[in-house]
Structures are given as C-alpha cells and as structure tokens.
Chain A
C-alpha cells in the first residue's frame, strides 16, 4: 500500500475542497441572487469543466502555467519554481476541474430557498453577505455538505488533470489514481485491487454520509424547499 500517495491524495482533496467552498459559496450566491443576463455566461463557464475532457483541461493548464506563457513565467518568478509538476499546480488544476461539483449543488440549494424569504431579508437591511450567511447557507446546509463531499470525492478520483499537470512525482504529485494506473501497467493486479478498493471505499462512505444526513434532515422536517410560513 502506498501510504504516501494516500496521504497526498487526501491532502489534495482537503485543500481543494476548502478552497472551493470559499470560492463557490459567493459565486453560487451571485449566480442565484444576481439579475444580469450575462450571469448565464458565468454559469456556463463555471460548468465547463463538467464537459471538458480532463486531459484537455490538464493540457491547457500545463501550457498556461508553464514557461511558454507570461503568466506561467510570472508565477514561476513569484514562487521560485513553476507551478506545473508541483503540488500547488495540482491544487490549481483540481480547483478548476472540481469547480462545478462545488458550485452546482450550492446553486440548486440556494435557488430552492423561497424568494419571499430573500425579499424579506433584503427589506430588513441584509446585504449580500448577510443574506448568504444568515439565510441561504442555513437554509441550504444540505447542499453545502453535498458540495463538500462531491468536491472531495471528485478530487480523490481525479486522474487526467493530475497526470497531465503533475506527472508522477512521489510525494509531490503521485496520487492514488496514478498509483493505480502504474500498478495496472505493471500487471500488479493484487496491489491494484487494494488501491481500487480504497478509492471505492472512500466514495461509498462519503456518499452514505450524504444520504444519512439527508434522511436525518427529513426526519427533523428540514428537507425539501425551504418556505417561510406556518401551519394553518
């Protein structure tokens, strides 16, 4: 078992998830609360990694972050090393690649909050930040959990972007998916079985946690569309 790769994979997934939640919450709120028509273009851009082949995205990032572009040279000058083939580069790639997995559940959750509640919040003086922290997030907390879990799992299972952008450097860019690929290439199916089982187990446990929390919320009457109101 490659413990170093497991630790690196979990570290990459944790860092990516943390960054993406910070980015995705305001982005999703903007997409839901904003009225401008061109926000549809922003939404499409945020969803693009869903349909883009990971290898293509990895290739673009490799070129953009490499020494062939001014941006890549600038970053390298700033950090003292190029972003490509480094853990930081993998984080950048993972954040972009997993962006829709964080944004889309949040957009769905925020959009399900009754607009009358948002209007009431606005009338009571809540600005965008307070609308998000006091209304949207508490009322769509299941979507926040779903976004975090999906982002984490998607990053754990990432292969194409990691291989293109990070290569296979032990301790720096070699994640479990790369290890699995190497094991299969070397016909070491016993080791590949174990690695695949770990990846599968992580996904199964995390998804079970989402569905358990959903059932618990339903039992407590917190499920479904959040409407302000009362019993009659």
Chain B
C-alpha cells in the first residue's frame, strides 16, 4: 500500500507492504492510524486539501489506485473494518446487526453464520438485545462479530478492544487470532496501547506524525515500549 494524503494541516505519507498474517499499526493518537485504516477500507476521508495519492493492493489485485482513478467500493473489497465506535444499527437487534452483511446467503445459512459469530465473540446470549441495551464492551464484541460474518480477506481493527477490560480483551484477541489463522484472514489492527500490540505478537508498523517510522517484529519495534511496561510492573 502507498498513501500520500493531506487532511487539513496533517500529512500522511506511508508506503509499505504488510506480509504478516497479523500486523499492528502502533502510534500515538493523531498519528494517522484511523485515516490509514479508512483508506485501506476504501472509505472516503473528509475534505482532502489536495489530491490524495492512494494505492492499495491485496493479493496482487489493486483495490485503490488513485493514479488510475480506481477505487473499489467498500463492500467489494473483501475487507471489514471494526471502528473504535461500534456503530451498531440502533433499529436492529444484535442478530440482525451481525447478519446485515449476509443478505446474499439463504435464511438458514445466515442464521448459522450469525450463531457461529456470536459464539466466537462469546455473545450468544445477546442475540435478541438492541444496541441501546448493550454495554460498551458488549457492543464492541457485536461490532466485531458483524465484521467477521461476511468472512473478509482483510480485517481492519481500529482500537477494537478499548471498552473491554484486560482479561476479556486478551481472551477475545486469542480467539480472534485462532479464527484469523484458521480462515487465512489478514488482520491489520491499529492501537496506541503497547500492551495490545505486544499481546498480538505480530508484525508492528510504527507510525509517527503520519510517517512510517519502523516496520518489523513486535519485540524489536516495540523494545523500548516493552521495557517501559516492564519497568512499570516492577
């Protein structure tokens, strides 16, 4: 992927290749993580002050190539995004939310997939609840189930566990890693929390001021962060 995007006074200039099954984009708030995920997902960004240069290729197939005026629609990229805010559809119950992206499946297949996804995120008991009746953590689980249900090739996670406590977050991360590995789904997760990045034990792209500062194994790229966390524990 390659981006050269300007939003207001903020420049995002990134060019890299994510090859690992699980990549963490790590950086402080405002580093450009969410913008980068939106561009990967094919969503528009607000009012770019100059023409953005964006090139996203997945499995050798271009999804976005601004030079050629190509941008596959978000629903046609086999890509799902779990944003920081769960954005559950308030007029639909949990089961309908999770099944929203499965309209091409038959009723039975859809129901089975919804049940499978709810089980994966440990939310089977919530299927008839409305989003307004869910806690923040429950809503994030449902948003994750909804994003996984269409079985995307690329899963984008933007601080997806921010409303979950440490233990619940770790447990869900473990389940998600197992699922991604089993279904050969490539995951790109943005976080500003070093412990999330280290727990994922993945390739880490360090983003700073809209630039890619480092890309490599979590242990290497986040060595300083790891030492800081360990010092805090002592």
Chain A positions within 8 Å of B, measured between CB atoms, are: 35, 114, 116-117, 119-127, 130, 134-135, 138-139, 221, 226-232
B75 contacts A230, C-beta separation under 8 Å: no
B160 within 8 A of A: no
B75 contacts A122, C-beta separation under 8 Å: yes
A230 contacts B131, C-beta separation under 8 Å: yes
- CB of B162 to closest CB in A, whole Å: 11
B90 contacts A139, C-beta separation under 8 Å: yes
Within the assembled complex, what's the spacing in Å between the Cα atoms of A79 and B136? 61
B43 contacts A231, C-beta separation under 8 Å: no
Chain B stretch 119-143: residues in CB contact (< 8 A) with chain A: 131-136, 138-139
If A119-B43, A123-B80, A127-B75 touch, whether A231 touches B134 (CB-CB below 8 Å) is: yes
- Count chain B residues whose beta carbon lies closer than 8 angstroms to a beta carbon of A: 34
If A116-B85, A230-B134, A230-B139 touch, whether A124 touches B90 (CB-CB below 8 Å) is: no
- CB of A90 to closest CB in B, whole Å: 38
On chain B, the residues within 8 Å of A123 by CB distance are: 41, 43, 74-75, 79-81, 101, 147
Question: Which listed residue, B74, B85, B100, B132, touches A231 by the CB 8 Å rule?
Answer: B132
Within the assembled complex, what's the spacing in Å between the Cα atoms of A228 and B101? 16
If A126-B75, A230-B135 touch, whether A120 touches B90 (CB-CB below 8 Å) is: no
B89 within 8 A of A: yes
Name the residue among B43, B87, B101, B146 with the largest chain A CB count within 10 angstroms.
Answer: B87
| A and B contact pairs by CB, cutoff 8 A, 25 listed | A117-B87, A119-B83, A120-B87, A120-B89, A121-B100, A123-B41, A123-B43, A123-B74, A124-B150, A125-B75, A125-B150, A126-B100, A127-B75, A134-B100, A227-B90, A228-B87, A228-B90, A229-B90, A229-B132, A230-B135, A231-B132, A231-B133, A231-B135, A231-B136, A232-B163
The interface bits of chain B over 85-100 (1 if a CB of A lies within 8 angstroms of the residue's CB, else 0) are: 1111111000000001
On chain B, the residues within 8 Å of A114 by CB distance are: 87
Question: Which listed residue, A121, A122, A138, A230, touches B91 by the CB 8 Å rule?
Answer: A138
B103 within 8 A of A: yes
Within the assembled complex, what's the spacing in Å between the Cα atoms of A155 and B63? 48
On chain A, the residues within 8 Å of B101 by CB distance are: 123-125
B44 within 8 A of A: yes
- CB of B147 to closest CB in A, whole Å: 8
Question: Which listed residue, A122, A126, A232, touches B136 by the CB 8 Å rule?
Answer: A232
Which B residue's beta carbon lies closest to that of A221? B132
The interface bits of chain B over 62-90 (1 if a CB of A lies within 8 angstroms of the residue's CB, else 0) are: 00000000000111100111010111111
Within the assembled complex, what's the spacing in Å between the Cα atoms of A134 and B96? 11
If A230-B131, A232-B135 touch, whether A119 touches B86 (CB-CB below 8 Å) is: no
If A122-B75, A125-B103 touch, whether A226 touches B43 (CB-CB below 8 Å) is: no
On chain B, the residues within 8 Å of A231 by CB distance are: 132-136
Within the assembled complex, what's the spacing in Å between the Cα atoms of A227 and B132? 10
- CB of B136 to closest CB in A, whole Å: 4
Which A residue's beta carbon lies closest to that of B77? A123
- CB of A219 to closest CB in B, whole Å: 14
On chain B, the residues within 8 Å of A124 by CB distance are: 75, 80, 100-101, 146, 150
If A124-B146, A125-B101, A135-B89 touch, whether A230 touches B138 (CB-CB below 8 Å) is: yes
Within the assembled complex, what's the spacing in Å between the Cα atoms of A28 and B24? 40
Within the assembled complex, what's the spacing in Å between the Cα atoms of A121 and B41? 13
Known: A123-B101, A228-B88, A228-B90. 19 other contacts (CB 8 A): A116-B85, A117-B89, A120-B88, A120-B89, A123-B43, A123-B74, A124-B75, A124-B146, A124-B150, A127-B75, A135-B89, A228-B131, A229-B87, A230-B133, A230-B134, A230-B135, A231-B132, A232-B135, A232-B163
